[in-house]
Chain A
Amino acid sequence: MPTPIGIDLGTTHSLVAWVTPTGGAVAIQNCDSEVLVPSVVHYREDGGVVVGTGAMAQALDHPEATIASAKRLMGRGADDPETKRLGSYRYASDEGPVVKFDVGGGKVVTPIEVSAEILRELKNRAIDDLGDVGAAVITVPAYFDDAQRQATKDAAKLAGLDVLRLLNEPTAAALAYGLASKENGVFAVYDLGGGTFDITILVLDDGVFQVKSTGGDSQLGGDDLDRALAGVFLEDLAYADGSEVPSNIARALLSGARRVKHALSDVEVVDAEIELPDGRKVERRITRADFDALVAPIIKRTGVACRRALRDAGLSKDDIDGVILVGGATRTPIVRSYVAEVFGKEALASIDPDQVVALGAAQQADLLGGESRRDDVLLLDVLPLSLGLETMGGVAEKILPRNTAIPVAAAQVFTTYADDQTGFDLHVVQGERELVEDCRSLARFTLKGIPPMAAGLARLEVRFEVNADGMLSVSAQEQRTGIHQEVEVKPSYGLTDDQIEAMLLDAYEHGGDDVAKRMLREQQVDAARVLSSIEGALGADAALLEEGEEARIREAMKRLSDAAAESTDHRVIASRIEELDELSTPFAGRRMDRSILDALRGRAIGAIEDETKDAKGVETHLAEEAEKYAQERQDS
């Protein structure tokens, strides 16, 4: 069985981890015993691609053909302010809303393709180490919006990776810590990575990791500290305000700044010496106090998000039992002392802050895609940013507020504002601000074909659904006529399916991946999984079977196992899986209902909330039930 893997796709570096047969998560090293792959991709003149340390070595000589920190541009438009801030790349100025880098030689790439190269490198590393590699859990900053998540999924698709789940980075870190310590309590995860900042407050209760709130800034990270310091070095060079600094100079200053920052974590004073590609040299003494004063305003921005996350969770800093540090930037002393100040206690960093996210991701991959050795662990996550619709006057109406537990759905009814209006424009936005123009635009669509009627008569129900990856789909229905429309929210800044298809085909031509073979193997694995799951259910809950049901299910199971053993056509296996699935679903439904009752009331049988919706008389009964339940809990 292929091994599921966990990937931390970071701004400055990335890594991949897996869970060993004994249940511990380990990061995969390359032949040089390096775990971290710098998130840098170099496009060679001959068309070759270099990823990681080798690419970094090319950064100074070929700044435009070497892309670093592409994650900061995932899901961003070419007109985004962040795009301009990154500076040192040559952007292709052609059509389309997605940012593109011109990497020379007529080649133009998107941040999604750059990320796909990194993912492919990690996947190959895992294959070298493990042989057969299965699907992946890929981590994203909790504060990533829908467009950024979609871009990450697209990158995985390009890299030929099946995604089990997009997992929020702080949640992954909490999983790694929680599984190690097994201590219940309320934890804050402070994650300052290369380019993003996340804060998450969560409760750990006997294996359930329940995120209460999350917040952050997807444009704030350790890179900003480097940039601030590089700005100081720049003062020594004669560049007029506003004049453009050549990209190779900027690169040299940035990497010099990063070295100085790292050194200042251990010593109080550093005499910086940075040699520039044009032969000049910057020399300057930097003390830790200088550095702290310089970056304090940046670090303070994280405090705002921390306080808001606490408020959203309905908690104060005294309620926090422990603080977990994640991300390389949390090695910086001023960051540590600031975190201690905000939460009133020293933070934990017993697991390597560079690796902890990937280790947690590997654990989640094992839970979702592995042999599932443990059944006692569950992650409950939330929506990081409010989702809403544009209403009159450009105001964003929130349909699902931030920090709502996912997966979730919500509906809102709107009406027409003009007589005989036959279409209704819907503009889906994400963010906390009141005005649509300050929020992120995710999608626009029009519900058409509403029959002419007076204003205010039509009833348009718009339904938002967010899946466990935190990704949205929207449907709209006119309730009088039943006209229905569904959109998968493909963000305005994303790639179209056609573009992905083309890139994929391109990749297959070059990679020689045998698609048919891969699909056959996937279906075989799937068949085995379905068979063993149903076999288990039949054994455990024979009492819930109806007359003749078991015989019918067993017949379909036989047909499937025959196909899985003999057929070379993945479609045959797929259709038999579907057949068995359809036949066994009513049985599965009965089992699920039974487990709901068990969960609510121990082993007794009683009413559940669904039944209270239409039956008023039940309330009295329920009050008694609740009392009984409370009594039972007390007794036990």
Chain B
Amino acid sequence: MGLPARYGIDLKELEVRYRELSRVLHPDKHAHKPAGERRISLGKAVEVNEAYRILKDDLARATALLALDGHVVAEGEGAPSDPMFLMEVMELREELSEARSAKDLDRVGALGEKVTAMRRATTAQMATAFDGPEPGGAGREHAELKALVGRLRYYRRFMDEVDVIEEEALG
């Protein structure tokens, strides 16, 4: 999308570029054109939408950057082994399931906020680890980055669960 290949990106800039590209590429802009041209436009629009989806998502962006460096993180790989972190996650999950059975939505919400803050801290760490060393990404500590990706996945799953609980309770 014409943005630099770094982790820290300007999301507002991403939005603007996404809309500018869509203005010229979206199939609706080529609805009157011959079939070949419509096919090209569809293919390009799909690429742009895929790039947009990946870039705006903090986790997908990280795995994509790692993949660019030749480090593909498969599902389930990079699970954190840091005992402190695992302990913390376990406690959080326990708290969440207690709050769930007690139907204590306030507590569920507070837990969600807590994990959101932790997630933000991790993405900040991630930005330093990705973009800090030097331009072009040389000197990145890929083992560290994979561990951070593993953490983000935990937080993501936790937030998904918070989502489900809130919906069940309200719906």
Binding site for B on A (CB under 8 A): 164-165, 203, 205, 208, 210, 300-301, 303-304, 308, 367-369, 372, 375, 378-380, 404-410, 432-434, 465, 467-468, 529-530, 533-534, 577-578, 580-582, 584-585, 588-589, 592, 595-596, 598-601, 606-610, 612-613, 616-617, 619-620, 622-623, 625-626, 629-630
Contacts and interface: CB of A to CB of B under 8 A. Distances in A.
10 contacts: A205-B19, A378-B29, A379-B28, A407-B49, A409-B46, A581-B37, A599-B21, A617-B136, A620-B135, A626-B4
Contacts of A433: 164
B105 to A, nearest CB: 12
A2 B24 CA distance: 26
B32 A592 contact: no
B49 A600 contact: no
Interface string B8-34: 000001010111111111111101111
Contact of B22 (A369, A380, A589, A607): A380
Contacts of A620: 135-136
A629 B2 contact: yes
B132 interface: no
Contacts of B17: 600
Contact of A410 (B15, B36, B50, B166): B50
A619 B136 contact: yes
B23 A599 contact: yes
Contact of A465 (B22, B34, B46, B167): B46
The 6 closest A-B pairs by CB, nearest first: A585-B36, A588-B37, A600-B2, A304-B170, A581-B34, A623-B4
A584 B39 CA distance: 13
B34 A619 contact: no
A626 B3 contact: yes
A578 B32 CA distance: 15
Given A592-B41, A623-B4, 11 more contacts: A301-B170, A378-B28, A378-B29, A533-B33, A533-B34, A533-B37, A585-B34, A600-B1, A616-B68, A626-B3, A630-B13
B154 interface: no
Nearest to A612: B5
A612 B53 CA distance: 17
A23 B134 CA distance: 55
Categorize the interface residue count of chain B. Answer: 35 or more
B28 A608 contact: no
Contact of B40 (A592, A600, A601, A619): A592
B53 A404 contact: yes
Query: Which one of A303, A304, A608 has the highest number of Cβ atoms from chain B below 10 Å of its Cβ?
Result: A304
Contacts of A530: 33-34
B83 interface: no
B10 to A, nearest CB: 9
A301 B164 CA distance: 15
Contacts of B137: 616, 619
B45 A407 contact: yes
Given A404-B49, A596-B44, A616-B136, A626 B2 contact: yes
A410 B42 CA distance: 14
A369 B28 CA distance: 10
A378 B26 contact: yes
Contacts of A626: 2-4
Contacts of A617: 136
Contacts of A608: 2
B34 A607 contact: no
A304 B31 contact: no
A410 to B, nearest CB: 7
B6 to A, nearest CB: 8
A380 B37 contact: no
Nearest to A375: B29
Contacts of A467: 42
B50 A622 contact: no
A144 B116 CA distance: 31
A595 B24 contact: yes
